Structure 1
């Protein structure tokens, strides 16, 4: 899956509306970039990574349909719901979890 994520990350980043994105595929874990005494150091679940995985499965499904059918939705139409609703929602969930755990309001 890491190979697919690396392959499709540039296409994903091109479709994300700014400023609605963190790095969905971080190169280091949060505990490496933050001190171990930080309450946010246990934050390891990224909702945007799930959205990236759904984007990859959508494109793989579209490629499969393209090979078998002449009628299919263009890529822009297929990704509309993903980037109009799901990606900003997952970004907001990540921000709330990160800020909430930093303030001690949310326990992950």
Structure 2
């Protein structure tokens, strides 16, 4: 199924800084789409790795989650950092890579299993 980025609520976790993630996301309109394979529609995207060096090649890796950001933060509010990974794995629907800049003429988005 085709999914538009505007349908997925983005958030980031360390080591990705909020400012860097915000600057990266400003390059996206939200209308970009990607082909998603899965039964459950993703609600959010947890960005865990990123390189922003525009106009050079930029990328972000994220996990597609079955829960929205508010639910994620509610579940994790009393959890120490080391305990977040099992929670993310529990709600993960797969991974995504977003790229732009460098030799790319347009934003490239791909689901990664």
Higher relative contact order (CA 8 A, sep 6+): 1
Structure ranking higher in helix proportion: 1
Q: Does TM, normalized by the shorter one, top 0.5?
A: no
Give the TM-score, by structure 2 length: 0.31
Q: Which has the higher strand share?
A: 2
